[in-house]
Amino acid sequence: MTKIDPDICPLCGEQNNCGMGKPDDCWCRSETFSGDLIQRIPHEKENKACICQNCVKRSSVRVGE
C-alpha cells in the first residue's frame, strides 16, 4: 500500500500548502471547490490530501470560460 502524503495535491502532485490544524488555519477555508474538481480526486486519496491553489484556480478558469 502506498502512503498518501497530506502535503501533496492529489491532482497535480505539487505541494498543496495546506494549513489545516495550524494556528493560522488554511487558505482553503475561503475557496470554493467545484463538484467536478472534487470528483477528479483518485478514490484512494479522497479525504487524505488537500487540492492545491493552482488546481483550484485552473478549475475555476475553466468553469467561467
Q: For residues 4 and 42, what is the distance between their CA atoms, to the nearest angstrom? A: 11
Could you list the residue range(s) of the whole structural domain that residue 17 is in?
A: 1-65
Give the pLDDT score at 10. 94
Q: For residues 16 and 22, what is the distance between their CA atoms, to the nearest angstrom? A: 14
Number of domains, the chain: 1
Angle at 35 between CA 29 and CA 37, to 5 degrees: 80
Predicted model pTM: 0.77
Q: For residues 16 and 11, what is the distance between their CA atoms, to the nearest angstrom? A: 10
Judged against a pLDDT cut of 90, whether residue 63 lies above it is answered with no
**What backbone torsions phi and psi does residue 56 show, to the nearest 5 degrees?**
-65, -45
Give the pLDDT score at 21. 64
Given pLDDT bands bounded at 50, 70 and 90, which one contains residue 9? Answer: very high
Q: What is the pLDDT of residues 17-57, one digit of tens each?
A: 887 666 567 778 778 888 899 999 999 999 888 899 999 98
